[in-house]
């Protein structure tokens, strides 16, 4: 029996060694997306896979179910399979240890759409200009309420994205860069928690864990029965489409907003199909289109250059080497241009571009 046990251990070790040395990488690029409950990530994953395979790479996409532990195991699996490069849309800073593991194994990591904060173990980030996304949201409210010429006080309540998502800070600060002067002059009154910058302690009171629609809906309902009970809201700063629609559904339960024309201005981003329908129907005021086809193609172009050891030349994106600081390192960042979408241009931007078809709507 003992001889059999020793023999089997020897065979296993031999197999492991052969497999280890002789292992042909089963994978070139690992694509780790955060989750699927926000529609855009399903598109990002599909587009990234298509562009990677079009360049002849063996790629695999996973979705982390908004759980960083799940995504970390998926990333470690990519490394085990021999991936040379990882494109990671992270969930929170819990991703940092596996980014370090990747660097230790000589695996390149590109932060995709969301900056990986708390790490210096990677070199590139690719996203849309997040501050500009927020500016579009703020400007939409400024114009819709005609704030420069307002002859009466206007009321707004604030929502932000996930406190674990560095983008949420940029979106909020971009919007408030437009709206803050009106708050300070008294034209615009904030109903409920009133941070004026994302570094404010009050920011967490308007932030929405993991971009969960159910949390935004509940908080809007609570506001309607408390701070917002005795005012008529003119606007709600909603950071993306998923939350915008949840907030609009909560508003519609209140007699003050129970018809489309009585709804406040509600912002968004991501150009989600349901929100394009809401914008067409006058329920949501605007979104920001961030064409995932463009972001995915640029990310794969960047990956291709890095794997070939070539200097990246990414068309349609500007290189920013100052703004995105992980806390340990300023990361070279490629920023693509977002596009504001309202009732006036959704047909041209979202349908004529082929992103959606008439039939989709
Ligand atoms: C952000 C992303 C946005 C938004 C959100 C929800 O990081 O930039 O597009 O949708 O995540 O996933």
What is the CATH number for 42? 3.40.50.2300
Pocket probe mutation, ligand 1, options 34, 161, 294, 335, max atoms within 8 Å of Cβ:
161
For the Cβ of 43 lying below 6 angstroms from any atom of ligand 1, the answer is no
Closest CA to 183 of 214, 246, 141: 141
* Side-chain-side CA neighbours of residue 247 (13 Å): 34
Classify residue 360: in a domain, yes or no: no
113 close to ligand 1 (CB < 6 Angstrom):
yes
Residue 129, ligand 1, Cβ within 6 A:
no
Whether the CB of 291 sits within 6 Å of ligand 1: no
79 and 168 fall within a common domain: no
In a domain, 189, yes or no: yes
Whether residue 167 has its Cβ less than 6 Å from ligand 1: yes
Nearest to 113 by CA among 36, 40, 23, 28: 40
CA 288 / ligand 1 centre spacing (Å) = 11
Domain-ending residue, one of 258, 289, 320: 289
The per-residue pLDDT for 8 is 60
| CB 270 near ligand 1, within 6 Å | yes
* Residue with the larger pLDDT of the pair 313 and 25: 313
State pTM to two decimals.
Answer: 0.92
pLDDT band at 185 (very low <50, low <70, confident <90, very high): very high
Is residue 252 within 8 A of residue 263, CB to CB? The reply is: yes
- Residue 252 resides in a domain: yes
Is residue 358 in a domain? no
Residue 141 counted as domain residue: yes
Domain closes at, from 289, 304, 320: 289
Starting at the earlier edge strand, list the strands of the sheet with 235-237.
188-190, 154-158, 235-237, 265-266
Tell me the average pLDDT across 261-278: 98
Q: Check pLDDT > 50 for residue 108.
A: yes
Residues 27 and 160 in one domain: no
Answer yes or no: do 135 and 116 share one domain. no
Q: What is the dihedral of CA 103, 104, 107, 112, to 10 degrees?
A: -30
**Same domain (yes/no): 244, 205:** yes
Q: What pLDDT is stored for residue 22 in this prediction?
A: 45
Same domain, 229 and 89: no
Lowest-pLDDT choice from 22-36, 172-186, 205-219, 301-315: 22-36
d(Cα 251, Cα 249) in Å, to the nearest integer? 5
Does the pLDDT value for residue 23 go beyond 80?
Answer: no
Q: From ligand 1's centre to the CA of 10, what distance in Å?
A: 50
106: containing domain: 2-122+291-333
* Nearest C-alpha neighbor of 174 from the set 210, 138, 214: 138
Summarize the confidence of residues 184-201 as an average pLDDT: 98
**Average pLDDT of the chain?**
94
- For ligand 1, whether the C-beta of 92 sits within 6 Å is no
Q: In terms of domains, do 109 and 134 share one? A: no
The preferred substitution site among 32, 38, 160 for testing ligand 1, maximizing ligand atoms within 8 Å of CB, is 38
Residue 253 and residue 153 share a domain: yes
For the chain, what is the domain count?
2
108 and 136 in a common domain:
no
Whether 109 and 63 map to the same domain: the answer is yes
307 with 229, same domain: the answer is no
* pLDDT score, position 3: 72
Q: pLDDT grade, residue 16 (50/70/90)?
A: very low
Is the CB of 240 inside a 6 Å radius of any atom of ligand 1? yes
Question: pLDDT band at 264, cuts 50/70/90?
Answer: very high
Query: Is residue 89 domain-resident?
Result: yes
Dist. CA 268 → ligand 1 center (Å): 10
Q: Is the pLDDT of residue 300 over 90?
A: yes
Q: What is the pLDDT of residue 6?
A: 66
Is the residue at 346 inside a domain?
no
Whether residues 166 and 256 fall in one domain: yes
């Amino acid at each position: 029996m003992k001889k059999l046990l020793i023999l089997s251990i020897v065979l296993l070790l031999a197999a492991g060694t052969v497999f280890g040395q002789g292992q042909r990488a089963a994978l070139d690029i690992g694509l780790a997306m955060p989750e699927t409950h926000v529609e855009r990530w399903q598109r990002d994953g599909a587009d990234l896979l298509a562009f990677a395979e079009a360049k002849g790479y063996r790629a695999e996409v996973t979705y982390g179910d908004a759980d960083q532990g799940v995504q970390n195991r998926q990333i470690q699996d990519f490394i085990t399979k021999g991936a040379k490069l990882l494109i990671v849309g992270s969930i929170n800073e819990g991703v940092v240890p596996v980014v370090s593991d990747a660097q230790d194994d000589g695996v390149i990591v590109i932060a995709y759409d969301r900056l990986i904060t708390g790490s210096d173990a990677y070199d590139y980030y690719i996203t849309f200009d997040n501050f500009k996304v927020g500016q579009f949201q703020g400007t939409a409210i400024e114009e819709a309420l005609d704030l420069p010429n307002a002859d009466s006080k206007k009321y707004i309540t604030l929502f932000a994205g996930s406190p674990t998502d560095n983008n949420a800070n940029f979106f909020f600060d971009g919007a408030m860069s437009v709206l803050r002067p009106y708050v300070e002059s008294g034209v615009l009154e904030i109903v409920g928690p009133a941070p004026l910058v994302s570094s404010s302690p009050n920011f967490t009171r308007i932030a929405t864990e993991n971009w969960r629609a159910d949390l935004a809906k509940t908080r809007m309902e609570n506001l309607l029965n408390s701070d917002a009970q005795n005012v008529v809201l003119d606007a709600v700063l909603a950071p993306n489409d998923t939350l915008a629609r949840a907030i609009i559904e909560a508003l519609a339960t209140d007699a003050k907003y129970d018809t489309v024309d009585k709804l406040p201005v509600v912002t968004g981003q991501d150009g989600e199909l349901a929100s394009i329908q809401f914008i067409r129907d006058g329920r949501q005021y605007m979104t920001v289109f961030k064409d995932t086809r463009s972001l995915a193609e640029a990310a794969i172009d960047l990956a291709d250059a890095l794997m070939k050891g070539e200097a990246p030349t990414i068309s349609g994106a500007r290189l920013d080497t100052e703004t995105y600081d992980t806390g340990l390192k300023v990361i070279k960042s490629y920023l693509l241009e977002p596009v504001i979408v309202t009732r006036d241009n959704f047909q041209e931007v979202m349908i004529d571009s082929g992103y959606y078809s008439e039939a989709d709507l």
